[in-house]
Amino acid sequence: MSREQAQQILKEAQRVAVATHVSPDADAISSATGLVQILRRLGKTAEAFCDDDLPARLKAIPHVEEIARIARGSFDLLVSVDASDPGRLGKAFAELQGLPLLNIDHHVTNTRFGTINWVDPSAVATAEMVLWLAEDLGVALDAELASILLAGIVGDTMGLRTANVNARILREVTRLMEAGASLPALVDALFNRRPLAAVRLFGQALVGVQVESGVIWTVITREMRAASGLTHANDLSLSSFLIGVEEARIAAVFTERDDGKVEVSMRARPGYDVARVALAFGGGGHPPAAGCLLPGPMEEVIPLILAALKTAARDSQGETSEGR
């Protein structure tokens, strides 16, 4: 239903702004750039916006350099991709307010903030939904578009390793590879390359790891980030590493930003749900991978979040196949 409405509004639009979330990940950049390329192939004007710096590993995605920070221009439609609430669009939302808004997303916590909302938590990535749109709109895959879209699928499934990977997505990955995308090249760029500074910071953060009632957690302070020279601490994927610890059902990493706010990155084993905790604190995500941003200070944030996570670590939802 909303998939058809999404198609319809995109067919009618002529000048489309596509905005994605701050702290961008591969799926954010992939779904925004992918949709822009599809719209341009249909003869429309389309521009991608992200109100943040892009981490170096995302430079492997074709056309990433065309993404602008400030959303200016004359448009007749705003599309939000991979963002669960309008706050995640940063200044892009304020700059483009008043336009009809198409909200395309796969987060279970999506607040349905669009004029039209196409939200499908069964999609492994927003990029998978954009692939469906390409097919619906009759845009053929070439090597470039296939690489752009595969990047988001590979990013959100951690290289096809999350609990939600199924036969459908593998068939889609096969189609993308047949069109010319390289799975090994994207896995290498997104997961196997990291700056030395990241490894040093990782090491420091591991020294401070604690486990309480099934919750494993650690802290990255401003001082630790400054000493390592790493600006994008979320590039570490430290929470994804910590959830591999056998004694843990839930993992959390608390990162202090330069403005004093605290980013919380959370992961859960299958059957446990951190999306509900993130949503309760104004954030969002998926049952196994979620996050939120709190005003700080660190010593207030940690006990608040840990109490909620310990409760979540007691409440098994039963084995679910719902992934990130």
Q: Which of 316, 308, 269, 274 is nearest to 107 (CA)?
A: 274
Q: In terms of CB distance, is 83 or 252 closer to Mn ion?
A: 83
Q: Residue 155 touches which of Mn ion, ligand AMP, none (CB < 5 to 8 A by kind)?
A: none
Q: Which position among 289, 301, 308, 313 is part of the footprint of ligand AMP (CB under 6 A)?
A: 289
- C-alpha gyration radius of the chain: 19
284 binds, among ligand AMP, Mn ion, none (CB under 5 to 8 A by kind): ligand AMP
Residues 266-285 that bind ligand AMP (CB under 6 A): 283-285
Nearest approach, Cβ of 190 to ligand AMP (angstroms)?
Answer: 12
CB of 324 to ligand AMP, least distance (A): 6
Stretch that binds ligand AMP, among 146-154, 201-209, 288-296, 315-323 (CB under 6 A): 288-296
Residue 141 C-beta: closest distance to ligand AMP, Å: 25
DSSP assignment of 59-99 equals GGSTTGGG-BSS--S--SEEEEES-SSGGGGTHHHHHTTTS
Binding mask 88-127 for ligand AMP (x = CB under 6 A): x---------------------------------------
DSSP assignment of 2-70 equals HHHHHHHHHHH-SEEEEEE-SS--HHHHHHHHHHHHHHHHTT-EEEEEESSPPPGGGGGSTTGGG-BSS
Q: Are strands 210-212 and 215-220 parallel, antiparallel or unpaired?
A: antiparallel
Residue type, 229: G
Write out the residues near ligand AMP by the rule CB under 6 A.
84, 88, 234, 239, 265, 283-286, 289-293
